[in-house]
Amino acid sequence: MAYSDDKINMVHGAGGEVMQDMISDIILGNLSKTSVNGGIGLESLDDSATIPLDDDHVVVTTIDAHTVQPLFFPGGDIGRISAAGTLNDISVMGVKPVSLSNAMVISEGFERSDLERIIKSMNETCEEVDAAIITGDTKVIDSDKLDSMIITTAGIGIGKKEDVVRDSGLEVGDKVIITGSVGDHGMAIMSKREGFGYETELKSDVAPVWSMVEAAKEVGTITAMKDPTRGGIANALNEMATKASVGMRLDEERIPVKPEVEAVSDMLGIDPFEVANEGKIVMGVKADDAEDILQAIRKTKYGKDAEIIGEVTEGKRVIMETLIGGERLIEPPIADPVPRVC
Ligand code: MG
């Protein structure tokens, strides 16, 4: 990959450290007001921002652009991902998403039937969490300027201040939960692109996560959470640890990876911990509540394979005890190895 300090490269959009540096330098460095009423603002780089309305209530808001290729992939499509991606960034703040706004930029010549399929898919995904699509915008541009379509969705959630969970709240002794198998989305996209013929087994996990958040909150305390999208769990775990100035000790045996994900991962030399998930949550929970929260998540539609994968420790490193009895440092990836994944 050609790399120049003066140009934006693919790696700047890939969810890793290079992207974080660009956000700090060029975006945050040139904006003067980045939060409202003392709420969570842009500088927190959390999954969503908050606007406190009064002493008790907050609006939670976020926005995501979706450029996934191909538009239709095993387990989902750009419609499902552009709804779930944004609904999930609201959900992992601990607040129920209520609405989406939907802006589409479509390439001239796009099939009407494909557009209809995509909108129906967005609708079905919103129905799962009873969220509404309340406003939008549609633009069509020359087919030599855009290969298919880009969908940008903004989400809103409304809740109580005490409901808000940040990604920075981990404390030493907390247990770490992952709500299911890792790497499914990134590897499904990769295998479809490479034409591996795994389409029947390997599916994207793209799904709305709200039901798992709701179930967990009912039975215990979540101290921090994030959806491990670009950069995978390696990125999410490190971001959460760094923000809280803590470390983690994880058990590889307990981190669920599907055999078909493992197979594609071996073939491509891509670490399943470093690729995107689109229907999972990494959660820090109070140790005393961990088992109850785990069982509650396992009863939900998308949480059957949830596991307690380790605990929060002193120190600043995310360390995994490997299957063969060694130790491996889990580092934040420089970039997600799979471009245009979401
Ligand atoms: Mg997120």
Tell whether omega for the bond before 70 is within 30 degrees of 0, i.e. cis: yes
Distance CA 90, CA 318 (A): 26
Estimate to the nearest angstrom the gap between the alpha carbon of 309 and the chain centroid. 18
Q: With H, G, I as helix, E, B as strand and everything else as coil, classify residue 29.
A: helix
Question: Would you kindly state where each structural domain of the chain is located, as residue ranges?
Answer: 10-163, 175-329
Beta carbons of 16 and 1 less than 8 angstroms apart: no
* Exposure of 51 in the CB half-sphere (CA atoms within 13 A): 9
State the first-to-last Cα distance of the chain, in angstroms, to the nearest integer: 20
Output the CA 47–ligand 1 centroid distance in Å.
Answer: 4
Q: How far is the centre of ligand 1, averaged over its atoms, from the C-alpha of 227 (Å)?
A: 5
CA of 324 to the centre of ligand 1 (A): 32
63 alpha carbon – ligand 1 mean position (Å): 10
Block mean pLDDT (10 aa), the chain, length 342: 70 78 89 96 95 97 96 96 98 98 98 98 98 98 94 98 97 98 95 74 95 98 97 96 98 96 91 96 98 98 98 96 94 82 87
CATH topology assigned to domain 175-329: Phosphoribosyl-aminoimidazole Synthetase; Chain A, domain 2 (3.90.650)
3-state helix, strand, coil in the chain (%, to 5): 35, 25, 40
Distance 113 CA to ligand 1 centre (A): 30
Ion ligand 1 nearby residues (CB, 5 A): 47, 89, 227
pTM recorded for the entire structure: 0.95
Beta pairing class for 175-178 and 282-285: antiparallel
Q: 140: which strand partners? A: 106
Radius of gyration of the chain (CA): 19
Distance from chain centroid for Cα 26:
23
The answer to whether 14 touches 339, Cβ cutoff 8 Å, is yes
Mode of pairing for the β-strands spanning 307-313 and 175-178: antiparallel
Q: Please answer whether residues 313 and 248 qualify as being in contact, where contact means their C-beta atoms are separated by less than 8 angstroms.
A: yes
Provide the pairing of β-strand 97-107 with 132-141.
parallel
Burial class (CB in 10 A: 0-12, 13-18, 19+), 1: exposed
Q: Rounded to an integer, what distance in angstroms lies between the CA atom of residue 188 and that of residue 221?
A: 33
Amino acid at 260: E
Q: How far is the CA of 89 from the centre of ligand 1 (A)?
A: 5
Across the strands, what pairs with 248? 312, 318
- Whose CA is closest to 228, among 323, 333, 142? 333
- The number of C-alpha atoms within 13 Å of 21 and in the hemisphere containing its C-beta is 10
* Cα–Cα distance list, 119 to 9, 142, 147 (Å): 31, 21, 19
Say how many Å lie between the CA of residue 136 and the centre of ligand 1. Answer: 22
Q: Is 83 helix (H, G, I), strand (E, B) or coil?
A: helix
Per residue, the 3-state secondary structure of 133-169, as one string, reads: EEEEEEEEECCCCCCCEEEEEEEEEEEEHHHCCCCCC
Q: How far is the CA of 326 from the centre of ligand 1 (A)?
A: 31
The Cα 100–Cα 289 span in angstroms is: 32
- What local confidence, expressed as pLDDT, does residue 1 receive? 47
Side by side, which strands form the sheet with 222-226?
Answer: 222-226, 282-285, 175-178, 307-313, 247-251, 318-321, 327-329
The secondary structure of residue 274, as a DSSP letter, is G
Q: Which residues fall within 8 angstroms of residue 310, CB to CB, at 6 or more apart? A: 175, 176, 248, 249, 250, 251, 254, 320
Query: Which superfamily is assigned to 10-163 in CATH?
Result: PurM-like, N-terminal domain (3.30.1330.10)
Q: Which residue has the tokens 């060694």?
A: 326
